[in-house]
Structure 1
Amino acid sequence: MNDFKSWYYYFLGNADHFDHINFHSIAGLGKAEKKLITSSIQQFQKGENSEGKHLLNHAKRYYEPAYVDTIKLFIREEQTHALLLGRFMEIAHIPKIKKHWLDSAFRKIRNMMGLELSITVLVTAEIVAASYYSGLKKATSSGLLKQICNRIMKDEDKHLEFQAYTLAHINKNSSEGLKQLKLLGHRLFLAGTLLLVWYYHGKVLKAGKYRFDTFTQHCFKTFERVYALKASYGRALVKQGQGKIAVT
């Protein structure tokens, strides 16, 4: 997709993609498994559940009209993930949590920053989510939770592509040196994030056949793919000769 209008229509057409999920059965979720996943899924459900007000405010300062409408649909899709996980938790009798310090920290970091750094933090969370839901899917015996994980993983894959396009748009006039500095900063931020994620979710990830090294390798492989996409989009945008888009 080579413009924000195309992304808008993608998210618009993807709005009903959870309609096929069967919520009538939760067979396979035993006591031991419920104990294993409860704290972890509570944190991820909370993390998916955001109003997106600050992200939307940043988007409104971005001089690309279609981007604001696209971000609204993106936020709605993320909120749908939270609703689906919440519905699963209700069926499984897993209570929701009102807050968690790690989620609050990520939100504060995003809120204090401008659009580019806010998107960078969001990309970090989505890279982690892509691997987490892969592990959760393998760790659970619940057919319902497997369905939800499969669908969220597909969404996260497109979300990362969308964010790669956004970052390419923002950075296409940046110098190569600045791009490399930002790349290094993002790599270090991801590395620190992975340590925290493993501390809180390592048991579920281990049950999903991840070791710490394979988990980090999977995340950094996704990271490299995002930046390869960003570079590809950047070259295409420069070739198209589009004017500079300012971010305030």
Structure 2
Amino acid sequence: MTAHRDTTASDVAFEKWVTHFTSNRRRHDAIEAMIDWEAPARLPTGVRAILVRSFQRFELGEGGDGLHLLRKAEGCGTAQREALRLLVAEEQKHSALFRRGLQHLGAGTLTNHWSDLIFTRLRRALGLRTELALFLTAEAVAMPYFVVLARSGPDPVIRGIGTRIALDEEHHLAFQIAQLRGGLAALTTPVRTLVLLLWWVVAVGAATVVALDHGSALRACGLPVRRYWGAALRSFRRAVEATVS
């Protein structure tokens, strides 16, 4: 899954994604305009501290500059490179939303965290296709977290941030699936089986890290960790099935 040229796709196939990401800015503005950013965070001290820790880690994870990913995409078509650039810009916007959430909660950001360091180094050590597969894994297992923030976050601003990000991530997953689809079909059956097995191992590990790092935040939003874990792996399974179909 580390091949570089395999990720090159015709510009026609990715022009729709460039259009989507470009027009998406209007939807972003509309959703964010509905959030009362000046509203005070009237949360119990314990709940506030839990959300601060969780948001700090997500802010760090979403805040990568994407330069390594874009460098690996230099052999791709023009529209695919532009779509990837716009995708990275949306992820950076998610980081900015978590920073605004932290401001709302009266807290600052982190400079580093072990889970982000490990995941970042793993992604950067591999080729474009594998980095995209890891990107898909991270977003698939994070989806239940964003959804529960949107549905039952303990504060209107928190729910607004969850809504804004969850809507984006649905499209991000579809975009990554579009790039990866067909790649596994070119592999021999034994190699494809091994790749899928390793992919599942990574997904289980990623879901476990989220459960450990953000379990208290999930519970604060009414989602038990065990239920999150099952939902995360179902989300990943759907993504993999769409990729190999």
Task: Say yes or no: does 1:161 pair with 2:174.
Answer: yes
Deviation at 1:212, TM superposition (A): 3.2
Provide the rounded CA distance (Å) in 2 between the counterparts of 1:92 and 1:208: 16
Task: Say yes or no: does 1:39 pair with 2:83.
Answer: no
Provide the rounded CA distance (Å) in 2 between the counterparts of 1:67 and 1:174: 23
* 3-state SS, counterpart of residue 50 of structure 1: coil
Larger deviation, residues 73-82 vs 218-227 = 218-227
Q: Which runs of 5+ in 2 are unaligned?
A: 1-11
Deviation at 1:139, TM superposition (A): 5.5
Provide the rounded CA distance (Å) in 2 between the counterparts of 1:140 and 1:28: 13
Task: Say yes or no: does 1:145 pair with 2:155.
Answer: no
TM-score, with structure 2 as normaliser: 0.86
* 3-state SS, counterpart of residue 187 of structure 2: coil
Could you tell me whether the CA contact under 8 Å between 1:8 and 1:69 is conserved in 2?
yes
* 3-state SS, counterpart of residue 141 of structure 1: coil
- What is residue 198 of structure 1 aligned with on the other side? 211
RMSD over equivalenced CA pairs, Å: 1.9
Q: Deviations over 1:172-192 (max 9, x none)?
A: 533344333222111111112
* 3-state SS, counterpart of residue 14 of structure 1: helix
- What is residue 59 of structure 1 aligned with on the other side? 73
Q: What is the aligned counterpart of 1:49 among 47, 63, 88?
A: 63
Could you tell me whether the CA contact under 8 Å between 2:141 and 2:233 is conserved in 1?
no
TM-score, with structure 1 as normaliser: 0.85
**How many residues of Structure 1 are paired with residues of Structure 2 in the alignment?**
230
* 3-state SS, counterpart of residue 156 of structure 1: helix
Check 1:172–1:9 CA distance in 2 against 1; reply closer, same or farther (3 A cut).
farther
Q: What is the aligned counterpart of 2:39 among 13, 16, 25?
A: 25
Deviation at 1:84, TM superposition (A): 1.4
Aligned pairs for 1:1-248 within 5 A:
3-20=13-30, 21=32, 22=35, 23-62=37-76, 64-137=77-150, 140-232=153-245
Provide the rounded CA distance (Å) in 2 between the counterparts of 1:158 and 1:211: 26
Deviation at 1:27, TM superposition (A): 4.5
* 3-state SS, counterpart of residue 97 of structure 1: coil
The alignment-based identity, stated in percent, is: 27
Q: Which runs of 5+ in 1 are unaligned?
A: 233-248
Check 1:139–1:33 CA distance in 2 against 1; reply closer, same or farther (3 A cut).
farther
* 3-state SS, counterpart of residue 46 of structure 1: helix
